[in-house]
């Protein structure tokens, strides 16, 4: 063996001495399962453990309880094994229980054959003020990025599902107007009910996302609690009558005003009343008690005579997609209503709670601050629903429809067969629409936002900028169904905004009410955002996964897609039954549009999953 001439010997022992001497970093190794097998002086200084106290323990000892529950330690090892290394920042725990902000790198160690033999983990303590500030700034930027990505994801989901839903609900409503037999009408009813329920699911997910991001704008003002309660009862009365359920109301002797957003307050009451009716027994009773309590508050309690909720399940009521045992029943639900109710009540500075006795029923209560009665009568009138048979005039009308989607064009053409006095003109491009508007001077212009040449916003601006069309009523129909989009279009000059899928009786009512040419606001017609139909309450929304910013957690997305596919399965089942019995060519064509739209929605639902193959459809047998 050749002498080394006094030079220090290089090798594993020399390297280990260097590692052990490092005090600025915690450097230690793990076996493939995460058990600590070596420990340097830096690890002892930063984490507080002597080598003999920690070697042989799992490295998750250094993680917070929240991270352990979220399986973060194991996820880090899995990523390091897959990619070679894993980087992370976050809170870690010392031996004495104190926390410190750590920057960590986990690297996979492999033998000559490429087999995993363990991991090397390097941790740096960044708890000094400057490092903590920098880490907080990085976390804030990441949170903003994740929230923006989440909003893009949810907006895309909403738009892509609303587009086929426009055909499903549109043609379904047209079939409902036709002369059908009792069995066929029942099938159409199931198609529309499932479509409405899916639309409600989409709306509630978006509402909760907006609440979480602070983007849902509320207008708090004095609201007559009795008026809003009566509106909610009117919406749920048909469902209650169908099940033989009595609704009994006890209210204060005088009108009470609460500080609330009227639309969202009604949404809360509808959610709670819908639950009390749906989860009740047949021939049961819902009791609603409104009472003024100390500290200037109004408490409203909804009590049912249903099966009740086990005490251990009460804490789960407001959790995302938690329906307790209801998912095994025939009761429809989205898993979102109660979470949205809780968020809305918090935003209106109110409270919500629940109590239950198994076998006897449940009670849900809300509290809001009362306020002084506003001067004058500020109660808002509720416009009755438009009847399809109503035709205010048979005077000839001309409508320009600006739309490039062929399925929506066919839906509009079928819709106009119910208004034979209307001449319809279709433009598939925005610039062509501007030309046709000048040429034909229509009484009403319907505009889609997404066109192949210019946007719907540009079409609205162009129409309002020409004296010949400056006062023509313009209704924007779009799958971008957000309040911000509605406000934007109205500020540009649109007369009204109607999200897709649009309500056919409401649209027909608008057409019927065009009593004079060039009237910018048709008389007597409210042009509202489509209101939530009475439906599922009792359910919350997807949360975000820290490891995949901008995507809801996989379990929540899978649950969401499962609900979508179940509803689409119902639609497809009843569409098939109708198609098998259809003899009329028009009916067959309408059902074909529903079938194609349902398949498009199914493809969209599959694309929401990280693994599209896991999205399956299992339609229930028809009732």
Structure confidence by residue, pLDDT tens digits, 22-59: 777 889 999 999 999 999 888 998 999 999 999 999 99
The verdict on pTM exceeding 0.85 is: no
Give per-residue pLDDT as tens, 523-555.
333 343 333 333 333 333 333 333 333 343 455
Specify whether the CB–CB gap between 545 and 147 falls below 8 A.
no
- Please state the domain extents for the chain: 22-127, 140-212+550-614, 221-371, 397-512
Low-confidence winner among 271-285, 393-407, 551-565 (lowest mean pLDDT): 551-565
Give per-residue pLDDT as tens, 468-514.
999 999 999 887 766 677 888 888 999 888 888 877 878 888 787 76
CATH number assigned to the domain covering 397-512: 3.40.50.2300
Tell me, what's the pLDDT at 236? Answer: 82
Tell me, what's the pLDDT at 122? Answer: 92
Q: What angle do CA 503, 219, 457 make, to 5 degrees?
A: 50
Give per-residue pLDDT as tens, 412-446.
888 888 888 889 999 999 999 999 999 999 999 99
Low-confidence winner among 80-89, 253-262, 481-490, 558-567 (lowest mean pLDDT): 558-567
List strands edge to edge, sheet with 422-427: 422-427, 397-402, 444-448, 474-478, 496-499
Q: How far is CA 33 from the centre of its chain?
A: 38
- Return the structure tokens found at 353: 């709670």
CATH number assigned to the domain covering 22-127: 3.30.450.20
- Looking at domain 221-371, its CATH class is alpha beta
Tell me, what's the pLDDT at 546? Answer: 33
How far apart (Å, rounded) are the C-alpha atoms in residues 114 and 100? Answer: 35
How far apart (Å, rounded) are the C-alpha atoms in residues 401 and 417? Answer: 15
- Looking at domain 140-212+550-614, its CATH class is mainly alpha
Long-range contacts of 188-194 (CB under 8 A, 24+ apart): 188/574, 188/578, 190/570, 190/571, 190/574, 190/622, 190/623, 191/570, 191/571, 191/574, 191/575, 191/578, 191/594, 193/332, 194/567, 194/568, 194/570, 194/571, 194/574
CA atoms within 13 A on the CB side of 78: 6
| Residue 13 neighbours by CB under 8 Å, 6+ apart | none
Low-confidence winner among 184-193, 261-270, 480-489, 556-565 (lowest mean pLDDT): 556-565
Phi-psi region of 223 (alpha: psi -120 to 50; beta: other; left: phi over 0): beta
- Return the structure tokens found at 360: 């006897």
Q: What is the enclosing helix (H) or strand (E) of 119?
A: strand 116-125
């Amino acid at each position: 063996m050749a002498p080394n001439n006094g030079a220090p010997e290089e090798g594993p022992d020399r390297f280990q001495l260097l590692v052990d001497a490092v005090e600025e970093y915690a450097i230690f190794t793990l076996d493939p399962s995460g058990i600590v097998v070596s420990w340097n002086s830096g690890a002892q200084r930063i984490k507080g453990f002597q080598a003999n106290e920690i070697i042989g323990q799992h490295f998750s000892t250094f993680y917070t309880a929240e991270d352990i529950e979220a399986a973060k330690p194991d996820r880090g090892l899995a990523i390091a094994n897959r990619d070679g290394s894993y980087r992370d920042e976050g809170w870690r725990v010392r031996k004495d229980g104190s926390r410190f902000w750590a920057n960590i790198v986990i690297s996979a160690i492999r033998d000559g054959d490429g087999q995993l033999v363990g991991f090397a983990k390097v941790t740096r303590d960044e708890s000094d003020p400057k490092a903590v500030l920098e880490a907080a700034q990085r976390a804030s930027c990441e949170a903003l990025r994740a929230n923006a990505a989440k909003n893009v994801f949810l907006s895309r989901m909403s738009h892509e599902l609303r587009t086929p839903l426009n055909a499903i609900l549109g043609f379904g409503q047209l079939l409902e107007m036709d002369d059908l037999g009792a069995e066929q009408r029942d099938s159409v009813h199931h198609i529309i009910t499932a479509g409405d329920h899916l639309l409600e699911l989409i709306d509630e997910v978006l509402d909760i996302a907006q609440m979480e991001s602070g983007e849902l704008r509320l207008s708090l003002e004095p609201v007559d609690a009795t008026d809003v309660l009566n509106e909610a009862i009117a919406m749920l009365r048909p469902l209650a009558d169908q099940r033989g359920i009595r609704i009994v109301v006890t209210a204060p002797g005088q009108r009470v005003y609460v500080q609330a957003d009227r639309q969202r307050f009604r949404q809360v009451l509808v959610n709670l009343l819908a639950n009390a009716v749906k989860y009740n027994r047949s021939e049961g009773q819902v009791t609603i008690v409104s009472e003024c309590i100390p500290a200037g508050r109004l408490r409203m309690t909804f009590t049912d005579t249903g099966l009740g909720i086990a005490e251990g399940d009460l804490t789960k009521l407001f959790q995302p997609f938690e329906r307790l045992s209801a998912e095994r029943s025939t009761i429809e639900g989205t898993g979102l209503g109660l979470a949205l109710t809780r968020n809305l009540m918090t935003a209106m500075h109110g409270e919500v709670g629940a109590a239950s006795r198994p076998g006897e029923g449940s009670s849900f209560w809300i509290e809001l601050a009362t306020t002084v009665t506003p001067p004058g009568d500020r109660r808002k009138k509720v416009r009755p629903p438009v009847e399809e048979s109503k035709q205010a005039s048979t005077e000839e009308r001309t409508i320009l429809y600006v739309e490039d989607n062929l399925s929506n064009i066919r839906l509009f053409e079928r819709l106009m067969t119910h208004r034979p006095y209307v001449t319809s003109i279709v433009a598939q491009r925005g610039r062509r629409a501007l030309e046709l508007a000048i040429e034909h001077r229509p009484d009403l212009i319907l505009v889609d936002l997404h066109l192949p040449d210019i946007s719907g916003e540009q079409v609205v601006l162009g129409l309002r900028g020409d004296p010949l069309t400056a006062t023509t009523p313009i209704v924007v129909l779009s799958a971008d169904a957000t309040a911000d989009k509605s406000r934007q279009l109205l500020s540009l000059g649109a007369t009204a905004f109607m999200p897709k899928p649009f309500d056919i009786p409401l649209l027909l009512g608008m057409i019927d009410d065009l009593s004079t040419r060039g009237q910018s606001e048709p008389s007597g017609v409210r042009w509202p955002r489509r209101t939530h139909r009475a439906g599922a309450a009792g359910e919350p929304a997807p949360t975000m996964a820290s490891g995949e910013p901008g995507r809801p957690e996989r379990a929540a997305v899978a649950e969401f897609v499962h609900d979508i596919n179940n509803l689409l399965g119902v639609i497809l089942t009843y569409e098939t039954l109708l198609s098998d019995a259809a003899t009329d060519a028009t009916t067959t064509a309408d059902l074909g549009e529903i079938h194609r739209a349902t398949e498009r929605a199914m493809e969209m639902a599959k694309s929401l999953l990280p693994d599209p193959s896991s999205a399956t459809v299992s339609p229930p047998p028809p009732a």
